[in-house]
Amino acid sequence: MISKWRLFLKELFEKLWFVALLYAGLAVLTNGAAMFIGPLLPDGLGEILGADSVEAVLTILASSMLSVVTFSLGIMVSAFAGAANAVTPRATALLKTDRTTQRVLATFLGSFLYSLIGIIALNAGVLTGNDRLVLFIGTILVVAIVVIAILRWIAHLTVFGLMSDSIDKVEAAAAHALNTRIAAPYLGGHGHSGPPPPDAHPITQAKIGYIRYVHMDWLQDAAEAMGCQIYLAALPGAFVYPGAIIAYVLGEQPEDAARISSAFKIGNTRSFEQDPRFGLAVLTEIAERALSPAINDPGTAIDVLGRAVRLLASLSEHRDPELKFTRIWVPALTLEEMMEDIFPAIARDGASFFSVQIRLQKALLALVQIAPAQFGKQALHQSEMALKRCHDSLLAHERAALAAVSAQISASAGPIRNRPL
């Protein structure tokens, strides 16, 4: 689990302005170091090595980087708009945190600030000849970094914001959250199902929004300080509001309930970080949009089904979860919920597409064959529901082909009652 400070630093380094500010700090440090290192160098060394040209280099760098930043920001905004229209608006959150884009733009903006501060220092008469040499060496390093950033940016622009790139990012975010949850199915606490103990005290909070993150370390510290047990009633991704119960406390009535509720980070939108179902839901949104009459792209829906199998298959891996928070009890995500996030919507919107329906049935069959005991019951249920949805939209031989695959699911999952198409 990520601590509050680590999460804060992670989100801070995802801000474009913060990395650019680091470059500005580098410029200040370089000019300060030049004032101390310059007097230690042999007299006239700066003139011999051409340090007097540093101002011209900085001027060129500042003017060019300002244009590059403006141009790159325009490209980035266009990519966001294109992804929102072609994929889903939820995918733009991942594009905004794309590390390559952030680092490249921060490098361009930071080098502009570096150059500007260097020019100011030179024109203020603060630096002598040898001091300019130190600044010149620092500038050469910055120019090398800028050249590398431009090459990375050119390569990245060939895929940035495209349908495939956006879907890859959503799948990667969902896979990360899912693998994290598989490693800690109860967020590092005890597993708990069913209602809380009858004498537990409910905890509410005053905000309206989605739970984006639960700081389990905070809850553990609060439980130890209060000498109680905490039962979570809402997981990341849940929509909460004033009066909605987010946790229960088993022990004395807590005097400082805000200490517990503050461990739940509430936001206006869901987050991929601790919410695997959000990644699955966004993938489903992409498939739904592709199946709409305006777009009519069943191939993308078929692609999403393949990715869904890859994600859900990871649930078959057995791992021994580590118990880190001994005073916290957490309900688990269920396979039923995750499969409901994916298959019903695609089966509904792709009811008239045989290619989508056959791929959906084969995706369910793949899951059953990967782990029959784990996926069998839910895959069989989803298969039956999908058959019902497309019954009136397909031809007889297409329904027969779907029934054949569904029969394989039935055979792999166990005996079921046959339902004609």
pLDDT tens per residue, the chain (421 residues)?
455 566 666 666 666 677 667 767 776 776 666 666 656 555 655 454 445 677 788 888 888 888 888 888 888 888 888 888 888 888 888 888 888 888 888 888 888 888 888 888 777 766 666 667 777 778 888 889 889 999 999 898 888 888 888 899 999 999 999 998 988 889 999 998 888 888 999 999 999 999 999 999 999 999 998 989 999 999 999 999 999 999 999 988 888 888 899 999 999 999 998 899 999 999 999 999 999 998 899 999 999 999 999 999 998 877 777 889 999 999 988 899 999 999 999 999 999 999 999 999 999 999 999 999 899 999 999 999 999 999 888 999 999 999 999 999 999 876 444 333 3
Cα–Cα distance between 252 and 247 in angstroms, integer?
Answer: 14
| CA-based nearest residue to 43, from 125, 132, 130, 135 | 130
Supply the pLDDT for residue 418: 39
Supply the pLDDT for residue 31: 65
Supply the pLDDT for residue 10: 66
Q: Which two tokens stand for residue 143?
A: 């120019």
CB under 8 Å to 169, separation ≥6 — which residues?
91, 94, 95, 98
Helices 354-370 & 396-413 angle (0-180, nearest 10): 10
Q: Which two tokens stand for residue 77?
A: 């905004």
Supply the pLDDT for residue 79: 84
Q: Which amino acid is at 380?
A: L
Supply the pLDDT for residue 36: 64
pTM for the predicted model, two decimal places = 0.82
Supply the pLDDT for residue 43: 60
